[in-house]
Structure 1
Amino acid sequence: AKISKKHHILEIGFGWGSFAVEVVKQTGCKYTGITLSEQQLEYAQLKVEQAGLQDRITLLLCDYRQMPNEDKYDRIISIGMIEHVGHDYIEEFFTCCESALAEDGLLVLQFFSIPDERYDSHRQSTDFMREYIFPGGCLPALSRIISVMAAASRLCVVHVEEIGIHYYQTLRCWRNNFLKNKRQIHALGFDDKFIRAWEYYFDYCAAGFKTCTFGDYQIVFSRPGNVATFGDPYNVTVSTVY
């Protein structure tokens, strides 16, 4: 994402706030994050306060369609959120990003994906994840993301990386940590049915990534002619990169 101290970052769907704290610690940038979850907002605000970063980090309860854009953002980042947007609204998502992004800015997405050949059947049906874990969600195909991006914005792809095999390892770690803390989960009021559902989710997804039937993409989007960000390839200088 080529983030430096001078940049103002927008994260769409900041989760539990880990990226917010880490990116500001490492780069000193200004950060704004939005979420629809009151619980995540409360938890992340506490995390920011504990890190002493209230002067650099702003967290808002806000839909991406109403996100503040008085100032253009140098970088827009969204990790694992576009899967919740849904097939019919991805174009609107890119339109909003186009409107909020500075002319020489970058948009970085990370998302679970499904193979192109299975996309139509996936979005028109239901499965375990869509019914029990992420109601209303839809794993996009890579081709859907690229085609909608081209239709809704001036953005173009400058980098693509598929990291699914690494996500397999992440899911195994999550599963192990989850089961190690089963007693604490029960203490929070959750029953064995809840625990079995999430254990199955971790195994289900891990199997998908290990067999390459799910993908996990990181894509960097820019506008054509963005020399200010990428510079002269024959006169490279070291910059702060996160």
Structure 2
Amino acid sequence: MTLEKNRRDQGAPVASTQGVPSLEPLRGGPRTAISAAVAKRLFHAAVNRLDITVVEGRSGSRLGQGGPTMHIHRPDEFYARLGRDHLIGFGEAYMTGAWDAEDLAGFLTVPAARIATLIPEPLQRMRAFLAPRLPGHQRSTEANSQANISHHYDLSNEMFELFLDDTLSYSSALFDTSSTLTTAGPGSVGDHLVATPPEPTDSADPVLHSPDLAEAQGRKIERLLDEAGVTDGTRVLEIGTGWGELAIRAARRGATVRTITLSIEQLELAEERIAAAGFADRVTVQLMDYRALAATGATYDAVLSVEMIEAVGHEFWGTYFQTIDQVLAPGGRVAIQAITMPHDRMLATRDGQTWINKYIFPGGFLPSVEVIDQITRNETTLRLTEQLEMGSHYAETLRRWDRRFLSQRDAVHALGFDDLFMRVWHFYLAYSQAGFASGYINVSQLTFTRENT
């Protein structure tokens, strides 16, 4: 489905493209008119308090206090989608081309920094009644989890290779290990380390691989392995294989590794990469849900997981950490890289469906560091002993991914993906970059040990 077709017939259903669900058609009538009018009023009130510029329709009327610019090409459609589907509608209006922004991430960063206060508090309290709920088939039960993971990670290994670096790491890089010790604040549970923000530099040609990104991804993994105490002879469990880079690096240290995934495509390529690196005898890759681990009876000296907890679902965070607790050998260590959000925003948005859920990660939901600490203290023998906060590094990682993805348009098309897919993924990468750049979301490496060990 192309954007030109969307523009020709706004009222017709937008057919699904590979990896993108169908858009619901807009319908006329009093209810649509009223919700659009309310949305317009709230949007104008919010925009006029922000350092952005919004140019509306053919009249060219301007809103905002100046800054990154948004162009609303089709105001009627934009406000109708925003009124009907709120933030999901905001993203869908971008998908159809009803609005645009030249610097999409820069524009989105401004409202993201004040997302909790843009809507009047009385309306915020109505969120639970107005916001769409996460569909039952997306909840991360054992029956649903593989389909949720497959929706995203089984799109195409070749597509991911177009914008990732040579390590095929699909998580935040760590560009510099220098850090400062910071006292407890939002998004932490005590004194913790904050990584020094990276400089936003990369190759002049985004099509080329950026060696320093691959080095930064390796630096991230090596730090996690150090935190987990992985050395020669260590028995390692990895929950969430990705494309095998952590398993390879752990095996290179002399460890034996069991790594589990629910992505068939990732499993196949990870096994190829592990064999090519010469570690097939040290690494076992299995298609397995983390909940099945306890039944195997095996224990491990180190358990690692990189940005997998986001797919667990808040109902199952206790199960996730209890499973890790059960399989961790005496004296073992756990190192997890987790995307998090502030605790109050987590509580306010729990059980709701977001644009990211609908189009990118079905069933996904971000924990807070506080809830991770609470669950491990109340339901396991694990204790959070160290946190390295590195959100600025994820903003830079995403900036590079997005830049390279956009430069590979012809190659993405050659894989069978269309312009709507390109637009969805550009919005996803820019939206995520804005979240980290604004501090609305964060990412940390978290280290756990057992009490009195």
SS at match of 1:175: helix
Deviations 1:124-161 (A, max 9, x none): 32222121111111111111111111122111111111
- Flag the structure with higher strand content: 1
Aligned residue among 222, 226, 231 for 2:449: 222
Q: What residue in structure 1 maps to residue 292 of structure 2?
A: 66
Q: Which amino acid aligns with 1:108?
A: A
Q: Which amino acid aligns with 1:90?
A: W
TM-score computed with the length of structure 2 as normaliser: 0.48
Aligned residue among 423, 429, 439 for 1:212: 439
Aligned residue among 325, 330, 338 for 1:98: 325
Aligned residue among 157, 160, 165 for 2:387: 160
Asked if the contact 1:69/1:100 (under 8 Å) is kept, the reply is no
Q: Which structure has the greater CA radius of gyration?
A: 2
Deviations 1:149-188 (A, max 9, x none): 1122111111111110111111111112222222222111
Kindly indicate whether residue 233 of structure 2 is the aligned counterpart of residue 12 of structure 1. Answer: no
Aligned residue among 398, 401, 415 for 1:171: 398
- Post-superposition offset of 1:114: 1.0
Deviations 1:40-87 (A, max 9, x none): 111111111111110111100001011264331010001110110001
Q: Which has the higher contact order (CA 8 A, sep 6+)?
A: 1
Q: What residue in structure 2 maps to residue 138 of structure 1?
A: 365
Q: Which amino acid aligns with 1:121?
A: A
User: How many Å separate the matches in 2 of 1:122 and 1:18?
Assistant: 33
Q: What are the ranges of 5 or more consecutive residues in structure 2 without an aligned counterpart?
A: 1-227
Q: What residue in structure 1 maps to residue 276 of structure 2?
A: 50
- Post-superposition offset of 1:113: 0.8
> Quick one: percent identity of the two aligned structures?
36
User: How many Å separate the matches in 1 of 2:404 and 2:247?
Assistant: 23
Q: C-alpha root-mean-square deviation of aligned residues, in Å?
A: 1.2
Aligned length in residues: 225
Aligned pair in 2 of structure 1 residues 50, 180: CA closer, same or farther (>3 Å)?
farther
Bigger shift: 67-76 or 46-55? Answer: 67-76
Asked if the contact 1:87/1:140 (under 8 Å) is kept, the reply is yes
User: How many Å separate the matches in 2 of 1:75 and 1:204?
Assistant: 34
Deviations 1:198-219 (A, max 9, x none): 1111111111111111110111
Asked if the contact 1:92/1:152 (under 8 Å) is kept, the reply is no
Q: What are the ranges of 5 or more consecutive residues in structure 1 without an aligned counterpart?
A: 227-242
User: How many Å separate the matches in 2 of 1:62 and 1:124?
Assistant: 26
SS at match of 1:3: coil
SS at match of 1:52: coil
